[in-house]
Structure 1
Amino acid sequence: MKKILIVGTAPNKMLDKYLEKIKKQLVKTKHRIYLLLTKKYENGLVDDYLNIESDSIKETLKLTNNVFDDVIVCLANSSLAYYKNVFFFLKNNNINKINIYFKDEIYEKNLDTIINFISDENIVYLNPDEIKFGVKGFKPIMCGENLDGDWDLDKFKFEDEIVFYNSFKEHFYEDVEWEKTEYLSRNLKQILEDKKNKWGCKNKEEFLERCRHLDELFLEMKKNGWVQNENSDFLTINIDRNGHILFNDGRHRLTFAKLLKINKIPAKILVRHKKWADFKKEIEKYAFEHKGKIYTEIDHIDLKNIEYVHDGRYEVIKSHISDDSKSVLDIGSHWGYFCSRLEKDLNKECVAVEVSEKHFYFLEKLKTAMNCNFNAVNENIFSFIDKNYKFDVIIALNIFHHFLKTGHLFNKFLKLLNKIESREMFFQSHKFHENQMKNSFFNLKPQEFAEFIVKNSKYNNFQEIGDFNGRKLFHIYK
């Protein structure tokens, strides 16, 4: 006999409907229904009641019988944060998979997926202006899904298509009364003519009161910034097949943040396109194969939690690079981190040269994901520099020591240094006693290496500007 636990978190009338649907689905199956709830409720379709002597289901409660074939949670609304205690209660009772009933939909979910979504660890921070496009919103119950198909192609421009954004902009910045906005007229039509309940409003007066409340929220955000209450829903975003951010839900607060030009806001990723999720797994696999870390940080909100080896160099370079320098060549760019940051932060015109096809694959994918325009070149630096040798800035981090390993490479390196024309270089040396340099044709200590570059190039001066675990960073300039 199939034992089914139903967690009754919905109002009585809604629970009646849920039980009828569940019973119809089980008509050909021998079963016993156990109903867990904190209130007085009776229904002839229930076989056993597991009443909790508490005003709510607390996560610390223990079930005396927790061996069930199916667990069904009946929700009254789609806010997962609202039912946080219920989900933690089920997890603490060793339940891993549940079915969620909400309105006319049934969702089979892994409990860990829901808990990960509602936990603080899943919060990402981004600039509101990074959210340029949106898609038709998914319900929060879809959290953690990696969806294939073309759902991400049918997108709209947030600032063009969201009625509230344009209406509120007119209302607050052009003194247009709420009664004259499209936002009010469109919603009133749905309330009065289509008989829809909008945010609990049933007439014009109630909806105008809601609009006045939105005014108050805007002024509060203007004064205090974005404040995320513990049990309120987050702004949700989706990630498309290319790694681009798509608005999902939370248009009112996002509108306020955009208009107030707030720098960073919290959000949660609800749905990812399967192609992006697969690419993310490729990066995680790469990290696993390299002692759990990638080479350097990735400046993408969905990849920031992946551990990396090299840290801190970008901020040092950013603080020393000349404002007059516009063009940048990154030699051995790896996955293009420095080019993407310099383009985004300082509007530099960058070229990323990477000879490894494997690294170049990741570089191009990440360049697309971050909407970057820098030029990515899969080529040997020696052949590239023959055609392109004038740049304002050269970045060469942990790369030049490879050209000391054989006489052939060393001679090519000398020609490269002699040919380069730039006003400044950021060079990071290797450590003199590294095993990889044991049988090298030539070897230099960090200070000697910087002097060697100046002597064999058109630069005149150098300055040590950082030390990263013995690998020193130099600013070399004319």
Structure 2
Amino acid sequence: MDPADITYLTGTYEEREQGHLDYVPHFKPREASWAYLPYIEEVPYGVTRSGDWDESRNEFDQLYIVRGARERFLDEKSWEQTSYYTALCEAFRERGLSAEAATARAIDRCEKLERIYQRITTHGYRSQAKLNGHPLHEVTITVGRNGELLYNCEGRHRLTVAKLHDIDAIPVQVLVTHEGYDGEVGYQDRDALRDRGESK
């Protein structure tokens, strides 16, 4: 799947205390263990659903993590100069951490993204199978009624970096397809997509 085609979210912008800084997904995979992440509906992989969940038009690229990555890797700012770092510090302070502890936690998060960026820069984008990871930790998307590819959960760091590198294809998991869509992309295609997703 071309990362550039995953443009919108299957959820809403919403600042939160844990997990995503500013995003609440619509769907929770039944196989996932989310102790603190809110969601609208729990579903197994590969289902179809009606409704307006595919019409939010909230852009993936407007998430703090994506904006921060662009500022860091494209604009060559230090992490401390990015909007992602600032938002992290504010979120950790709101949880009651001291300024020093919040700064340290924010730097840890930024360095995690830095490591992923450097790893993909050096070794290319590799599937969870190649990384000995869990297959359900691939970037997880939904398919809207008109064939739109929407980010739902999992792999936001890797998807962000893949977009910055203009990688041609990455493996994905399709969680939900809108019942109004009659195209070919669906859960049954995920193994083929994963096979095609090994990109340098």
The TM-score normalised by the length of structure 2 is 0.68
The structure with more radius of gyration: 1
Higher strand proportion:
1
Q: What is aligned with 1:251?
A: 156
Find runs of 4+ consecutive structure 1 residues off by over 4 angstroms: none
Q: What is aligned with 1:179?
A: 80
Q: What is aligned with 2:8?
A: 133
**Cα deviation 1:188-246 (Å, max 9, x = unaligned):** 222111349xxxxx632132023123212101101111122333411010011222211
Using the alignment, how far apart are the partners of 1:164 and 1:303 within structure 2? 27
Give the alignment's Cα RMSD to 1 decimal. 2.2
Alignment-mate amino acid for residue 178 of structure 1: W
Q: What is aligned with 2:124?
A: 225
1:273 matched to 2:161? The reply is no
Higher relative contact order (CA 8 A, sep 6+): 2
Instruction: Report the secondary structure of 2:171's partner residue.
Output: strand
1:156 matched to 2:45? The reply is no
Q: 1:235 aligns with which of 139, 145, 150?
A: 139
Give aligned-pair identity as a percent: 29
Q: 2:110 aligns with which of 208, 211, 224?
A: 211
* Number of residues of Structure 1 aligned to a counterpart in Structure 2: 153
Name the CA shift for 1:195/1:301 in 2 (closer, same or farther; >3 Å). farther
Q: After superposition, where does 1:20-31 map in structure 2 within 5 Å?
A: none
Alignment-mate amino acid for residue 237 of structure 1: I
Instruction: Report the secondary structure of 2:176's partner residue.
Output: strand
Alignment-mate amino acid for residue 207 of structure 1: A
Using the alignment, how far apart are the partners of 2:187 and 2:174 within structure 1? 12
Using the alignment, how far apart are the partners of 2:158 and 2:53 within structure 1? 24
Using the alignment, how far apart are the partners of 2:66 and 2:4 within structure 1? 13
Q: After superposition, where does 1:283-432 map in structure 2 within 5 Å?
A: 300-302=184-186
User: Which runs of 5 or more structure 2 residues have no equivalent in the other structure?
Assistant: 12-24, 31-42, 190-200
Instruction: Report the secondary structure of 1:203's partner residue.
Output: helix
Q: 2:92–2:105: 8 Å Cα contact kept in structure 1?
A: no
The TM-score normalised by the length of structure 1 is 0.30
Q: 2:3–2:163: 8 Å Cα contact kept in structure 1?
A: yes
Name the CA shift for 1:206/1:194 in 2 (closer, same or farther; >3 Å). closer
Q: What is aligned with 1:51?
A: none
Instruction: Report the secondary structure of 1:152's partner residue.
Output: coil
Name the CA shift for 1:303/1:236 in 2 (closer, same or farther; >3 Å). closer
Using the alignment, how far apart are the partners of 2:186 and 2:177 within structure 1? 10
User: Which runs of 5 or more structure 1 residues have no equivalent in the other structure?
Assistant: 1-125, 197-201, 281-299, 306-478
